[in-house]
Structure 1
Amino acid sequence: MKLLDRIIRAVLTGALLALCGYIIVRSVTIAGENGLFQNTPLLSAVYEKMEEWTAGTYIPVISYAGKETEKPDILLEMEDGVFPVYGYIRRQQEGGAQVESAGEYEMILRAQAQAEENKRPRETESEASQTETPAGENPLWDYPYLLNHYFSMDVTTTIDAQRLDGKTLLGMDMTMEKDASQPQILIYHSHSQEAFADSVEGDVSTTIVGVGEYLAQILREDYGYNVIHEDGIFDLVDGVLDRNLAYDFSGAAVAELLEQYPSIEIVIDLHRDGVDGTRFVTEYNGKPAAQLMFIAGMSRTADGQDIAYLPNPYIQDNLAFALQLQLAAERETPGLMRNIYLMAYRFNLHLRPRSLLVEAGTQLSTVAEEKNAMEAFAKVLDAVLQG
């Protein structure tokens, strides 16, 4: 077959699958939102499985069914052509060649870019049974308790008791000796174009970048930290919004800054979440404040396979940092934090230990709510860093 014919066939196949997938995802989602499946347990269970399957198949993130089935060669070839990331993981599981393909890597990067905006949480209750903690033992040392009370998990990844060991995570030293003579905290934004309900077009100070500058200002003036705020734009290509390689671009900029300023110990990628029809708000010092959420990048698929293209030596450090901040917020600013969200990719969290991806509010939050949340977050961050 001629190369042009193969390209045309691949494009048409991809377009058809994308269209079918969109129709299925929207149909299932709309039906679920309208309560079609709520009254019948069987239909409800089917709906949950359909939602997970459609998310894993048509949204470009890594998700795999628990049972593997044999596929004809022609289907494997088509799968590899349209979704090369599937082919890559399949070959890893089969112990095949570890040769890296530029196409596979690019697909993984694109999947990572879309994953943060297309989160699909799974129920953790069914995976970790509720058990009573032995008398005298810290409940945070109990894996089921910790997972179900402080974490949410995307359908694309998984975690186990070894990786989520509360005793180990809470025993790790996350403190930092304050030294205002050199940069120690870096704040940046992989998605600089994220705005809020009352953002003013053309006014950067009313976007997530402006919120990041406010956080940097609080940390400098109120807590005495030396903070670098990187306000570069990584999600515009030729003036058009394009986030496919945003994490690649922002990661390169962060790596350069870390090389220039090796004293940096804390790296924060500040985002605004996007959840249809949902506004996460709490109260801090008598004022409305947007709720925050940490995203932890596991570099791991739903069937427990590490994503070799996305190594992250600091998964434990980042989990410990996020958990300790979560618990400090529970004491200092109750209601500020949503559960820590576990995802399959790494989101540049491999560049330094104590790296955070923070989702602040949603598109329905106001700029004032975002800034109030930064005041609370700065207080919690200082509490953990100073022990």
Structure 2
Amino acid sequence: MMTNVDLDNPRSYFSIQVPIISIVKTEMVSTPGVELPPENPPTVENEHEPSTNPPEVPEPDTSAAEVEKIVPMKGKPLVLIYHTHTTESYMPSKNYNYNPRDKAYHTNDLRFSVARVGDVMADELNKMGIPTLHDKTVHDVPTYMTSYTNSLKTVEQILKTNPSIKIIIDLHRDAPTADPQKSRELTTVKIDGKTYSRIMLVIGSDKVFPHPHWKENYRFGVLVNNKLEELYPGISREIDLREQRFNQHLSKKAILVEIGSHGNTMEESIESAKAFARALSEVVKSLTLLNENENIGQQ
């Protein structure tokens, strides 16, 4: 119990190889976290050997023609929002006052976590005619180290029962430094008199695990990021391209979205969720091939 090792689950052995202090530091500062090896490692024939070079960045062609079109299924969800780190939260405020369980601002009360921001984003997308599911399964309790393993199982099950989903958003909040006030300086912007939490997209590559669709994810992320900046100049913290894949191999349009940091408030992050939903809806409409009697965005 003290080491989080399950004798029937070899995967749990990995967690004891990381010093406890490293786990704490990872949770506070590097919120995307870590991925454990898949249950069925790739064979020698298709094993991807990690490279010492940084991930290759595809040409940032932002034309919609470079991104696979979307064919929606009437009455079926198109977007999934979920949270690998469901208990990440924000600095308490007057309207969203709570008792964080740690100095990195986490809470098991999902009314005050990033899941609340996900509620707003999903509601906005649904209002705009983009059918969206929001899953609030908690994946980072009792341990942070297996959160991506846990969320992978959740998303795989959702996709199995909802094959219409084409866009997958893993919604987080960032912590670029351990000090929330210093983080706030990096993750806050005022646009037209309104304060927003800044947004960063994290895209995984294939350096660590096989990920044949990462360039498609990257191009989709470029479209979304450019639309965000067009509508809300200064809100984007650009795209962070990583070696890990962050479960993004499950879709050609999978992105990890960091809204704000533990130096922002819930109010600021809710405004950013609305901004992101607006930008995403416009990108979706630009990519959508309508079937007969379909009318996405005009429902």
1:261 aligns with 2:162: yes
TM-score, normalised to structure 2, is 0.70
CA distance in 2, matches of 1:260, 1:294: 27
CA positional deviation for 1:227: 1.0
1:288 aligns with 2:195: yes
CA 1:318–1:263 in 2, change beyond 3 Å: closer, same or farther? same
1:218 corresponds in structure 2 to: 124
**Contact preservation (8 Å) 1:296, 1:356:** yes
CA distance in 2, matches of 1:18, 1:220: 43
TM-score, normalised to structure 1, is 0.55
**Contact preservation (8 Å) 1:174, 1:385:** no
Could you say which structure has the larger radius of gyration? 1
CA distance in 2, matches of 1:248, 1:314: 19
CA distance in 1, matches of 2:235, 2:53: 25
Looking at secondary structure, tell me which structure has more helix per residue.
1
Q: Give ranges in structure 1 of 5+ residues lacking alignment.
A: 1-13, 26-59, 63-84, 86-96, 101-107, 109-155, 301-306
1:353 aligns with 2:252: yes
1:112-191 matches, within 5 Å, as 158-160=54-56, 163-167=57-61, 171-177=65-71, 181-191=75-85
CA distance in 1, matches of 2:200, 2:68: 19
CA 1:231–1:285 in 2, change beyond 3 Å: closer, same or farther? farther
**Contact preservation (8 Å) 1:270, 1:360:** yes
CA distance in 1, matches of 2:224, 2:62: 15
CA positional deviation for 1:176: 3.2
**Contact preservation (8 Å) 2:125, 2:132:** yes
Report the number of matched residues: 239
**Contact preservation (8 Å) 1:205, 1:211:** no
Q: Residues 112-170 of structure 1: CA distance to partner in whole angstroms, max 9, x if unpaired?
A: xxxxxxxxxxxxxxxxxxxxxxxxxxxxxxxxxxxxxxxxxxxx86133xx41234876
1:385 aligns with 2:258: no
**Secondary structure class of the residue paired with 2:130:** coil
**Secondary structure class of the residue paired with 1:204:** coil
1:122 corresponds in structure 2 to: none
CA 1:283–1:257 in 2, change beyond 3 Å: closer, same or farther? same
Among 239, 262, 286, the residue aligned to 1:340: 239
CA 1:315–1:185 in 2, change beyond 3 Å: closer, same or farther? same
CA distance in 2, matches of 1:270, 1:209: 8
CA 1:173–1:229 in 2, change beyond 3 Å: closer, same or farther? same
CA distance in 2, matches of 1:175, 1:286: 36
CA distance in 1, matches of 2:34, 2:160: 31
Q: Which amino acid aligns with 2:204?
A: G
CA positional deviation for 1:285: 5.3
Percent of matched pairs sharing the same residue: 27
1:204 corresponds in structure 2 to: 110
CA distance in 2, matches of 1:61, 1:271: 14
CA distance in 2, matches of 1:284, 1:217: 23
Answer 1 or 2: higher relative contact order, Cα 8 Å, separation at least 6: 2
Q: Which amino acid aligns with 1:158?
A: P
**Contact preservation (8 Å) 1:157, 1:343:** no
Q: Give ranges in structure 2 of 5+ residues lacking alignment.
A: 1-15, 26-32, 38-42, 100-107, 287-299
1:117 corresponds in structure 2 to: none
1:299 aligns with 2:206: yes
Q: Which amino acid aligns with 2:91?
A: A
Q: Which amino acid aligns with 2:67?
A: D
CA 1:170–1:176 in 2, change beyond 3 Å: closer, same or farther? closer
Q: Residues 259-315 of structure 1: CA distance to partner in whole angstroms, max 9, x if unpaired?
A: 100000110000000122211112345321100101111121xxxxxx3xx211210
CA distance in 2, matches of 1:250, 1:164: 27
Q: Which amino acid aligns with 2:144?
A: R
**Contact preservation (8 Å) 1:157, 1:344:** no
Comparing 341-350 and 170-179, the one that deviates more: 170-179
**Secondary structure class of the residue paired with 2:183:** coil
1:275 corresponds in structure 2 to: 176
CA distance in 2, matches of 1:284, 1:312: 37
1:321 corresponds in structure 2 to: 220
Q: What is the aligned-residue RMSD (CA, Å)? A: 3.5
CA 1:385–1:174 in 2, change beyond 3 Å: closer, same or farther? farther
Q: Residues 310-365 of structure 1: CA distance to partner in whole angstroms, max 9, x if unpaired?
A: 21121011000111111112211111110200111110100011001001100011
**Contact preservation (8 Å) 1:187, 1:212:** yes
CA distance in 2, matches of 1:270, 1:345: 16
**Contact preservation (8 Å) 1:175, 1:384:** no
Q: Residues 89-111 of structure 1: CA distance to partner in whole angstroms, max 9, x if unpaired?
A: xxxxxxxx9499xxxxxxx9xxx
CA distance in 1, matches of 2:254, 2:260: 19
Q: Residues 46-98 of structure 1: CA distance to partner in whole angstroms, max 9, x if unpaired?
A: xxxxxxxxxxxxxx989xxxxxxxxxxxxxxxxxxxxxx9xxxxxxxxxxx94
CA 1:298–1:169 in 2, change beyond 3 Å: closer, same or farther? farther
